[in-house]
Structure 1
Amino acid sequence: MRALITGGAGFIGTHLSRRLLAEGLEVAVLDAFTPQVHGDNRDLAPDLRGAVRLVRGDIRDEAALRRALAGVEAVVHLAAETGTGQSMYEVARYSEVNLQGTAQLMDLLVNDPDRRVRHLVVASSRAVYGEGRYRCPLDGVVFPPARSRVALALGRFEPACPVCGLPLDRLPTTEDTPPAPTSFYGLTKLVQEKMGLLFGGTLGISTHALRYQNVFGPGQSLQNPYTGILAIFSGLARSGETLRIFEDGLESRDFVHVRDVVEATWRALNTEAPEPVALNVGSGVATTVAEVAEGIVRHLGSRSRIQVTGEFRIGDIRHNTADLTRVREQLGFTPTTAFQEDLEAFLDWAAEERPATGGYARSLEELRSRRLMNV
């Protein structure tokens, strides 16, 4: 099989390229090497140079995308802008890359008379859900809307029942949870996956939209201030800076190792989907941000102070845990992630890399200046 990975020089794409090559596939990569993600690097990882067919270009560039698609039978569409907070003030750029880029891919698939693509995997996100799925003691399973600025300013961080206002118990989020993105990034990922499922079904292509949770692991960009709290906090802890935690530190995330994301993606490429389908890919385990910060400081022996600030960002969700029943049934996927062990391995890797310099502080100031973060 010949496979194309859009955005394939990035974090997930690099790991996936290695897996596909090891499985005997011919791999093509399309990547624009944007500075925010790649820093000064403008090439593939050394072990991939010459092993994959590299097309340098933007997902919106029809000519580059056409070259990348030549002769391929499978497409993994990873190319996207990924910052939740940044998406709220760089709206046009996120729309152009995530929406127009995906539209360009679908346009070429539809109009190629010699189309050979039989498998399509679209990288979606848990961000499509918004706050997700909860249980109310009176009203049963409910899906609370985005938390209001007023509630957050009063320190009411937990979502309340949208029917009666009572406190809620969080539940793992299933794929049939009604989508309700709280950020523009989440909205673009929802439209991306819908485009893939729509056109994949129309063209008779086996199509999976994989809703990745919070992916981490070695090779993650440490320079990108929107890459996730593990990379951000590890850099701050290495330099002894204060780790400032939003809200009360009890917000939780489903951290999934890139190893498991690659495994699920490989299985999707090798599974015929009778109908286009969206599936969660995560660990199924909730970890609080406070636990993450404490684990990082402890493992690195850092002098950093952990400060719970009560600050909040518009567009953030409170909790996130994936229900993995459907992906287990349809792909036979079970995560291997042992978060504490994998976190320590990630930190050992990060300790050998160049830490970020000031980007995170600048990103927060950009949010504050636009009233997207409390001031």
Structure 2
Amino acid sequence: MKNVLITGGAGFIGSNLALKLIFKGYSVTVLDNLSPQIHGDNPEETSPLFLSIKDKVNFIRGSVTNIADWTTALKDQDAIIHLAAETGTGQSMYEIQKYVEVNINGTALMLDLLVNSLHTVKKVIVASSRSIYGEGKYVSEELGVVYPTHRYAESMDRADFEVKYPGSSTLTLVATDEESKIHPSSVYGITKQNQEQMVLTVCPSIGVAGVAFRYQNVYGPGQSLKNPYTGILSIFSTQIKNGNNINIFEDGLESRDFVYIDDVVEATILGLESDTANNQVFNVGTGVATNVLAVANGLVKNYGINVEINISGNYRLGDIRHNYADLTKIKNLLGFTPKISFEEGLKEFTKWVNTQEIQVDNYQKSIDEMKSKGLYK
């Protein structure tokens, strides 16, 4: 397989992946709409992400919701890496139609063409997400393994942010494996679950290999600093560089698995090149839970800019408390082990941010939008 189509290939993951594939000798086509939320208002002139791949790929400015764009992009392709999606759990809760149209219907268009037209595609890799799990996996002293549902406003209003499970006293967080319960707590998570299921259901039925990667929280150099809706490292960085204080939700102890972009690219290429990956789903992360307060403190220390870190007790409906990845399957089947620790990755990320133009801090706008919808408390 030498001809690879990357949808969303001008985005953060996509552009890094495209450059690595080109280095390895692949011919890369990118289909991307250059969304202003990610790339700014004049992306073909000013977006660092787009400029990093400009003239190195066959670039098609178009949308995965447009069948003509898909038809053009699919010509002579051996594989599709389907990354194009609206991202962000909070925004998905009030821009529901847009998330469904891009994430679900865009994927349906791709699969419809693969089923009903002549093509040369042999493999489809779809970017899934840890968000499909909802809350992570826990062990109850009384009940064994349990999967708590979403938390309730009544508890969080009392600053009680930890998850509960009926009939259980103490819950211990453990790594979430691929066999864990899927119960997303946001529209974004629902759309990613749908994408994954469609690809893994349709592709094998027509002789095309399907692979789904459930990415954890991806970060690193090149991450959009313009997007106030997703990526807490970039959001916090833009606030710090503007000299603005950081407002941390809940009690700051909510945790995520932060995985460095180079490790994500490596895992994805392993899935492309290995037949062992065919028709499988894999977690991609570090297998380490890092809390949000530690992220904020690490960023402030690395930038050397003294801003206040305020633990506000505010919260967003639809957010989960904890989740980190069990990597046993991807290690055993694909030989993948993450190479970059969070401390190392954070240094590389902040070093890169220091070379970038300081962006306007639009984070409060995103908070105001959620507050107006009753989703931010």
Amino acid at match of 1:254: D
> Quick check: 45-54 or 288-297, which moved more?
45-54
Residue 149 of structure 2 is aligned to residue 148 of structure 1: no
Measured against aligned partners, the alpha-carbon deviations of 1:286-323 in whole angstroms (never above 9, x if no partner) come to 11101011111111111100110111100101011100
Other structure's SS at 2:163 match: coil
Are residues 45 and 179 of structure 1, via their aligned partners in 2, closer, same or farther at CA, if it must alter by over 3 Å?
A: same
Per the TM alignment, residue 47 of structure 1 is displaced from its structure 2 partner at its CA by 4.7
Amino acid at match of 1:62: I
Asked whether the equivalents of residues 30 and 54 of structure 1 are also in contact (C-alpha less than 8 Å), the reply is yes
Per the TM alignment, residue 154 of structure 1 is displaced from its structure 2 partner at its CA by 1.6
Partner of 1:134: 138
Residue 20 of structure 2 is aligned to residue 15 of structure 1: no
Per the TM alignment, residue 51 of structure 1 is displaced from its structure 2 partner at its CA by 2.0
Other structure's SS at 2:14 match: helix
Distance 1:277 1:116 in 2: 21
Picking from 59, 65, 73, the partner of 1:54 is: 59
Other structure's SS at 1:14 match: helix
Residue ranges of structure 2 left out of the alignment (5+ in a row): none
Distance 2:214 2:134 in 1: 13
Alignment of 1:1-375 (within 5 A): 1-43=2-44, 45-113=50-118, 115-161=119-165, 163-273=166-276, 276-374=279-377
Asked whether the equivalents of residues 128 and 189 of structure 1 are also in contact (C-alpha less than 8 Å), the reply is yes
Asked whether the equivalents of residues 137 and 323 of structure 2 are also in contact (C-alpha less than 8 Å), the reply is no
Amino acid at match of 1:119: K
Distance 1:209 1:4 in 2: 16
Other structure's SS at 1:134 match: strand
Per the TM alignment, residue 358 of structure 1 is displaced from its structure 2 partner at its CA by 3.3
Distance 1:144 1:4 in 2: 38
Asked whether the equivalents of residues 62 and 104 of structure 1 are also in contact (C-alpha less than 8 Å), the reply is yes
Distance 2:299 2:155 in 1: 30
TM-score, structure 1 as length reference: 0.97
Other structure's SS at 2:314 match: coil
Per the TM alignment, residue 48 of structure 1 is displaced from its structure 2 partner at its CA by 2.6
TM-score, structure 2 as length reference: 0.96
Asked whether the equivalents of residues 129 and 181 of structure 1 are also in contact (C-alpha less than 8 Å), the reply is yes
Distance 2:146 2:230 in 1: 30
Measured against aligned partners, the alpha-carbon deviations of 1:342-373 in whole angstroms (never above 9, x if no partner) come to 10110111122123323210000111111101
Are residues 204 and 289 of structure 1, via their aligned partners in 2, closer, same or farther at CA, if it must alter by over 3 Å?
A: same
Per the TM alignment, residue 111 of structure 1 is displaced from its structure 2 partner at its CA by 1.1
> Quick check: 332-341 or 346-355, which moved more?
346-355
Are residues 203 and 369 of structure 1, via their aligned partners in 2, closer, same or farther at CA, if it must alter by over 3 Å?
A: same
Amino acid at match of 1:280: N
Distance 1:134 1:38 in 2: 38
Percent of pairs with identical residues: 46
Asked whether the equivalents of residues 277 and 334 of structure 2 are also in contact (C-alpha less than 8 Å), the reply is no
Asked whether the equivalents of residues 245 and 308 of structure 1 are also in contact (C-alpha less than 8 Å), the reply is yes
Other structure's SS at 1:219 match: coil
Per the TM alignment, residue 46 of structure 1 is displaced from its structure 2 partner at its CA by 3.6
Asked whether the equivalents of residues 207 and 273 of structure 1 are also in contact (C-alpha less than 8 Å), the reply is no
> Quick check: 244-253 or 348-357, which moved more?
348-357
> Quick check: 213-222 or 337-346, which moved more?
337-346
Asked whether the equivalents of residues 11 and 50 of structure 2 are also in contact (C-alpha less than 8 Å), the reply is no
> Quick check: 104-113 or 348-357, which moved more?
348-357
Amino acid at match of 2:219: F
Are residues 299 and 10 of structure 1, via their aligned partners in 2, closer, same or farther at CA, if it must alter by over 3 Å?
A: same
